[in-house]
Structure 1
């Protein structure tokens, strides 16, 4: 399994792109602005999109992708999400006011179909397994475990303190990579708490719950504050885990 980081910033500007992970050639985990880096041919090859939550930085490319390549495909793109996330997409995005409802058009071959998923219940696509994991955010949200069989990568999605996530990770025997958000520097800790994101001290508390050995990467850093956040993370990190910044273009082989 090949996982390519298309976007991992907490915002845009200066070449930054928001969250999107390409799995092999046919799966997206979130569809932030990072997905706009793909060619038309690459976008047309996407059969499955797994959404963590409906904030714009995680879905903004999805409506445009469907409109751009839907006619190039012979079947709908399947969007996987928990029920409450699908309901928001139906009501607030694909509602004919913001964007066409591509579950209805074209009538003879719609561009979009939804598939509801449950936390902790894996979706198997060939030899690959993708499992929604709990997240604690201001809107309904999940993270995901990507499991090739040989190794697993876990993406926290947007989340504040989340003991259930670490409990699950501690039971993943083939855990290799953990991608976890830390959106705000310590001087904006109050904003992090209010918006259910992590700050460096909160991250240290979270990582103290991780009992397995794994590579830890930090995502969703606020633009212009990346260096400060990573320096503060290093100050508070334990010897057990030394988080590194996640960079666009990074490829993980699982």
Structure 2
């Protein structure tokens, strides 16, 4: 299993900042932020599954454009895996004929998109690759994901504030190699982090204290303009944790 970072920023600004999306091998996306826009038409056609963490625009904005760009070139619908609550939001607020066509209903003889509900702790297997929804705590219904090749796992928290249930699930993963964890704000905006159910360096340290295993840790979803400040604060807190910033175009092998 090869995981390519298409985008991992908490916003846009500059040629290198793309919002969250990861390409798993050639046919699976985890989230569909603006990073998807860098894929070619040929690459977009190969995507069969999209696993959505939550409905916020920076994680779903390219979903509408994928089906619009290549839906008529494919012989089967793009399958969107998400919680029932997230699917309801996508139906009501994006694919609603007002913001974008409902491609789960059109074309009538061959819809471009299909929804597949997923529940926390449920595992979806795609050609021996196992993707499990993990608990998260955000302002809208949200999950993280464990990607398991069988020999190693990567965990992506998605957007989350403090969430003991997330760590309870992560602590059960025996083959964890990489942990991608959000840290959206610096500590000077801790109040905003708390209100919006995100993490900042001091909150992240409290979360990591619940972790019982070891893996390589990368922080993601940093806000443009605050990246250097946030990483400086993390460096003062990190102690035993060697925290690195997730980079666009980074590749993980499992």
Scaled to the shorter chain, the TM-score interval is over 0.9
Q: How many residues align?
A: 253
Q: Distance in 2 between matches of 1:232 and 1:26?
A: 37
Taking the TM superposition and a 5 Å limit, the aligned residue runs for 1:68-79 are 68-79=69-80
Q: How far off is 1:165 after superposition?
A: 0.9
Residue 192 of structure 2 corresponds to 191
Instruction: Name 1:237's counterpart in structure 2.
Output: 238
Task: Name the residue aligned to 1:52.
Answer: 53
Return structure 1 stretches of 4+ with deviation > 4 angstroms: none
1:246 equivalent to 2:219? Answer no
Partner residue in 2 for 1:138: 139
Other-structure match for 1:5:
5
Counterparts of 2:171 and 2:141, CA distance in 1: 24
Cα deviation, 1:25-49, whole Å, max 9, x if unaligned, reads: 0000000001111001101100000
| RMSD across aligned positions (CA) | 0.6
Q: Quick one: distance in 2 between partners of 1:27 and 1:205?
A: 32
TM-score, normalisation: structure 1: 0.99
Partner of 1:175: 176
Aligned residue number for residue 91 of structure 1: 92
Aligned to 1:212: 213
Q: Take 2:195 and 2:133, find their aligned partners in 1: how far apart are those partners?
A: 24
Residues 55-96 of structure 1: CA distance to partner in whole angstroms, max 9, x if unpaired? 000000000111000011000000000100000001001000
Hey, what does 1:33 align to over in structure 2? 34
Measured against aligned partners, the alpha-carbon deviations of 1:196-230 in whole angstroms (never above 9, x if no partner) come to: 00000000001111110100000000001111101
- 1:238 Cα deviation after fit: 2.7
The answer to whether the 8 A contact 1:204-1:238 is kept is no
SS at 2:72 equivalent: helix
Q: How does 1:159-174 map to 2 (within 5 A)?
A: 159-174=160-175
**Mapping for residues 15-26 of structure 1, pairs under 5 Å:** 15=15, 16-26=17-27
1:3-27 deviations in Å (ceiling 9; x for gaps) = 0000000000112100000000000
Deviations 1:131-171 (A, max 9, x none): 00011000000000000000000000000001111111111
The aligned counterpart of 2:223 is: 222
- 1:208 and 1:215 map into 2 onto residues whose CA distance is 15
Distance 1:151 1:103 in 2: 34
